[in-house]
Structure 1
Amino acid sequence: MTDTITKRRVDAAKPGETIWDRKLSGYGLRVSKGGTKSYCLKFRSGAVQRWLTIGRHGPFTPETARKEAQRLLAEISLGNDPVATRQQAAKSETVGQFAERYMREHAIPTKKPRSVEEDHRNLRLHIFPFIGKMKIGEVKREHIAKIINKMSDRPYGANRVLALLSHMFTKAEAWGVRPDYSNPCRHIKKFKESKRERFLNQDELIRLGEALIEAESEGESPYVIVAVRLLLLTGARLSEILTLKWTDVDIEARLIRLSDSKTGKKTIVVPAPALDLLSALPKMKNNPYVICGMKDGTHLVNLQRPWRRIRARAGLKDVRLHDLRHSFASFAVAGGMSLPLIGSLLGHSQPQTTARYAHLADDPRHAAAAAVAENIAASMAGK
């Protein structure tokens, strides 16, 4: 389809579509099957037809991309090949330098802040120390395998690092920094991840409650205590509680309204015990967050250290903070609630995510069968 590339036309472009500008030859917009929109330039270098990605829509507008296309065409008219120039530059670009570009041009504009933070952490701890100073074009499969194998005792973390590397090198191909189909992460298998399920039983909940009371009496931050209790009482994710703002809390409606979460916009029901906690929690002046941090205007960042102290006091050394969310779900199942309702409470976007709790539904069935059997046995015994 031939058309002038304007913002309206870009907004209307559909996945898989390519449009060309009728005023500037070779200047176009390509939309991937996933919906990513990128400005491009098609030209000939000698007998070879070249494709060059100018940049993604967002950082580039139709106007700025057009100006860049005009600049590139001027270079081409002088006999230069921008693709060859990029490939030559890539030979001197290190993995560390490319990673900075990847974060700036892709990760930060498109990913959620928590994912960006995790990418920065994985780059700093697991990628830069091993291949950060290597040329991006020199990285081979054995280098990636060495990084991943060193993390074999942490399969989940290793898989996240592999995914980040794979996407970085896919972008390196798309941006002309490496040849097509040269991703060194290909054929490196992920580690098998075993889903860990740990639920608190009633006795453990009693011990945890006692440990929280003791910790608070001995000077533990009230924000730490409230954060742990809210995780249990609402089934919310840790990040949702730590970054919760007072403007998200609707006391009258007994709801927490999050404009963004792991699964997008979300509403969390606030039951009476959680409502009491929020109503009694002191608000810090000039701090918008419910769970305040040590510095003015910040939220609590690290709940792991105080949690380790609390769980040790309660004798629950194998319990993670995320297990409190699982425990909320297990008590919901034991209470006879349906899986769709539990999924709604937890904010699951996919039914199969909630289905992991289906086996817990056997517990109330056993209890019901025991009650019926006891009545029958008592009647047969003449009681």
Structure 2
Amino acid sequence: MNSVINFTKANLETLPTPASARVEYQDGKTPGLKIRVTPNNVKTFCVLKRIKGGSPLRTTLGRFPDMSIEQARRQAAVILAEIAEGGNPSEVKRAIKGEFSFADLFDLYLKRHAKVHKKTSKSDEQRYQQYLEKPLGKKKLSAITKDEITTLHSKITSDGHPTVANRVLALLSSVFNRGIEWSITQTNPCEKIRRNKEISRDRFLQSDELTRFFEALNLEPNATIRDYIWLSLLTGARRTNVLSMQWSEINLAEGTWRIPMTKNGTPQNVPLSPPAIELLKNRRQIIDEEVAFVFPSIGVTGHLVEPRKGWERLLCEAGLTNLRIHDLRRTMGSWQAKTGASLSIIGKSLNHKSTQTTAIYARLDIDPVRDSMNTATDAMLKAGGVKKK
């Protein structure tokens, strides 16, 4: 049986040298962390843990005193957690050899936290690639300072993206907090960095803009992009839900689209207006039966992912500025309000989550929501010259 001792520098330095066979000692603070002492007085940290359904697995960490006790405990904690989740500790050891870089920690954050607990893990990954990978990816965690993160936040802000700057800062803080939780790092350099004041966005397509918008949309050469934008407007659904829309979720006979999971963590029934149904019927005729997605793509996801170029092309053709795809969702809600819909109906149609109106939403069926969306759709099409008044 291994002797259990409290791993301190003094205790490890004074461990006796065995006469023949090597001896192991168990850390009293971190279960599974051991130190082996050879007859040559070489002291090596290792982790010994039985894998579920298998034999004990030993992972060598490094030699004392080149590796500190705190470094050994941090690496042991990560490896033990990986084993508990059924992972390969050898891969983790390679990733944490020496001190973690920010890229190493972000990779663990995605795998163990974001992809398991968040519906926005893809957004986290995109923000990392766009804003964090180049300036911070290769840096050791201890080398990342508060001043450096403040400068990064200020640069994104000065580039005209104050809200994005706040989201990137929030992502950074979350990654470092997970690192502290997993004993990989001890501090969060994002603490007490002042966020930008955010102003609620209220942009939507006005009456005088709709004609140009619809004319440019009908001229869009890419049918997939064109139909995606049309459905985004006609359903008022969130961008990610429209992009990943599947035929199995649509009931054309009843005129409904059942979104199995939304940003709010709940399913949603979206009523389809006659123009939306007609568009979907036309797409169904040109897409092979075995294709699952309404907007298929040859990419990894199997569906359209980033329509940015098509959107920019549309705005240029229409002569519109400061308009985002998400503003189409707000446009539907705004035109519902213009045509007399109540806030409860608008909230139900857009799947807004509010503690004050949850009880009201629960009593609403889909018919008044459908009527409101149809009325708003008619009003938009008439204002844009697509439908006769």
Question: Scaled by the length of structure 1, what TM-score is found?
Answer: 0.66
Aligned to 1:170: 177
Q: Amino acid of the residue matched to residue 132 of structure 1?
A: G
Match of 1:363 in 2: none
Equivalences for residues 234-245 of structure 1 within 5 A: 234-245=235-246
2:73 matched to 1:86? yes
Structure 1 residue 328 displacement after superposition: 0.5
1:320 maps to which of 309, 320, 324: 324
Kindly indicate whether residue 136 of structure 2 is the aligned counterpart of residue 131 of structure 1. yes
Query: Given the alignment, which residue of 330, 333, 338 partners 1:334?
Result: 338
Distance, in Å, in 1 between the alignment partners of 2:329 and 2:97 is 46
Task: Report whether the alignment pairs 1:202 with 2:202.
Answer: no
Structure 2 partner of 1:260: 261
Between the aligned residues of both structures, percent identity stands at: 29
Provide Cα deviations, 1:46-68, integer angstroms capped at 9, x if missing partner.
Answer: 799747799xxxxxxxx968999
Give, in whole Å, the separation in 2 of the partners of 1:222 and 1:255: 22
For residues 208 and 146 of structure 1, what CA distance do their matches in structure 2 show? Answer: 38
User: Do the aligned residues in 2 keep the contact of 1:287 with 1:297 (CA within 8 Å)?
Assistant: no
Unaligned runs of 5+ in 1: 1-42, 55-62, 355-383
Q: CA offset at residue 139 of structure 1?
A: 2.4
Contact kept, 8 Å, 1:148 with 1:162, in 2: the verdict is yes
Q: C-alpha distance in 1, partners of 2:314/2:302?
A: 23
Q: For the residues of structure 1 that align with 2:234 and 2:31, how far apart are their CA atoms?
A: 53
In structure 2, what residue type is equivalent to 1:195?
A: S
Determine helix, strand or coil for the equivalent of 1:319.
coil
Kindly provide the amino acid, as one letter, of the partner of residue 311 in structure 2.
Answer: W
Deviates more, 1:94-103 or 1:295-304: 295-304
Residue deviations 1:258-299 (CA, integer Å, cap 9, x gap): 111212222211112211111122342232111233669832
Larger RCO of the pair (alpha carbons < 8 Å, separation 6+): 2
Question: 2:287 aligns to what?
Answer: 284
2-side partners of 1:53 and 1:184: how far apart? 30
Q: Provide the residue aligned with 2:249 in structure 1.
A: 248
SS in 2 for 1:349: coil
Deviations along 1:294-315, one digit per CA (max 9) or x if unpaired, are 6698322232212222222222
Pairwise mapping of residues 1-383 of structure 1 onto structure 2 (< 5 A)?
45=7, 50=29, 85-87=72-74, 92-112=99-119, 115-153=120-158, 154-179=161-186, 182-213=187-218, 215-216=219-220, 220-264=221-265, 265-281=267-283, 282-285=285-288, 286-293=290-297, 298-350=302-354
Give the partner amino acid of 1:191: N
| Cα deviation, residue 94, structure 1 | 1.5
CA drift at 1:118? 2.0
What is the letter of the counterpart of residue 223 of structure 1? T
Tell me the CA shift for residue 327 of structure 1.
Answer: 1.0
TM-score, normalized by length of structure 2? 0.65
8 A contact 1:91–1:135 mirrored in 2: no
Q: Is the 8 A contact 1:199 1:323 kept in 2?
A: yes
User: What is the aligned-residue RMSD (CA, Å)?
Assistant: 3.6
> How has the CA–CA distance of structure 1 residues 352 and 123 changed in structure 2, closer, same or farther, with 3 Å as cutoff?
farther
Does the Cα contact within 8 Å between 1:86 and 1:177 map onto a contact in 2?
A: no
Q: For residues 109 and 64 of structure 1, do their structure 2 counterparts lie closer, same or farther at Cα, with a shift above 3 Å needed?
A: farther
SS in 2 for 1:160: helix
Which amino acid in structure 1 is aligned with residue 256 of structure 2?
L
Deviates more, 1:91-100 or 1:226-235: 91-100
Q: CA deviation at 1:199?
A: 1.9
Per-residue Cα deviation, 1:163-211 (whole angstroms, up to 9, x for no partner): 11111111111111223xx211111111112222112222322222222
Asked whether the equivalents of residues 308 and 317 of structure 1 are also in contact (C-alpha less than 8 Å), the reply is no
Q: 1:343, 1:93 → 2: CA distance?
A: 45
Q: Give the direction of change, closer, same or farther, for the CA distance of 1:318–1:135 in structure 2 (3 Å limit).
A: closer
> Which amino acid is the alignment partner of residue 268 of structure 1?
V
Instruction: Give, in whole Å, the separation in 2 of the partners of 1:146 and 1:236.
Output: 36
- Structure 2: how far apart are the matches of 1:67 and 1:51? 22
Q: CA deviation at 1:84?
A: 5.0
Gaps of at least 5 residues in structure 2 are: 12-26, 34-49, 62-66, 76-95, 359-389
SS of match in other structure, 1:267? strand
Q: Is the 8 A contact 1:87 1:177 kept in 2?
A: yes
Asked if the contact 2:344–2:357 (Cα under 8 Å) also holds between the matched residues in 1, the reply is: no
Aligned partners of 2:216 and 2:314 also within 8 Å = yes
Distance 1:81 1:49 in 2: 16
CA–CA separation in structure 2 for the residues paired with 1:225 and 1:201: 20
Contact 1:156-1:191 at 8 Å conserved across structures: yes
Code of the residue aligned with 2:270 in structure 1: it is I
Tell me whether 288-297 or 336-345 shows the greater mean CA deviation.
Answer: 288-297
Q: 1:269 to 1:195 in 2, by over 3 A?
A: same
